[in-house]
Amino acid sequence: MDIKISFRNDNGKVAGQTITNFDSDGFIFNNQILLAEKAFGKQLSKNLIEYLAKHEIGHVLGLGHANFNESLMSSLVYHSHNEISDCERKAIAEANKWKLLDNNSLPTKSQTKKYFC
């Protein structure tokens, strides 16, 4: 799987975005992460851009937005929560069980559709 990270300078209303492309079987074959240097009329700090990159990489790993604020994957920025939670790590492992846990060389669709934290 390829991941491409690039910056945009459109001073828009989105600080980060992940675009995921799937193959005909529904498996991810590449991701593009777009990060803004400016958003909402403000220059973004290096720390905020790093936070946004980590958040977008969480999307690449298959995570959606968290349903709680104490997470890197929250839809809002909380600098004090700069990590993916243990629950979210378990969700990543479940989504990738076919490869990470079963040591399988061929992908199989996960039986788990959602993982609640």
Q: What's the rounded mean pLDDT across residues 70-94?
A: 78
Q: Both tokens of residue 104? A: 């399988």
Considering the entire predicted model, what is its pTM?
0.72
Whether residue 1 has pLDDT greater than 60: no
Burial class (CB in 10 A: 0-12, 13-18, 19+), 1: exposed
Amino acid at 67: N
Residue 111's CB is within 10 A of a number of other CB atoms, namely 7
- pLDDT band of residue 8 (cuts 50, 70, 90) is confident
> Is residue 93 a contact partner of residue 100, using CB atoms and an 8 Å limit?
yes
The C-alpha atoms of residue 28 and residue 50 are separated, in whole angstroms, by 24
CA-atom Rg of the chain in angstroms = 15
The pLDDT value given to residue 107: 63
Q: Lay out the sheet containing 16-22: strands in order across.
A: 2-8, 28-36, 16-22
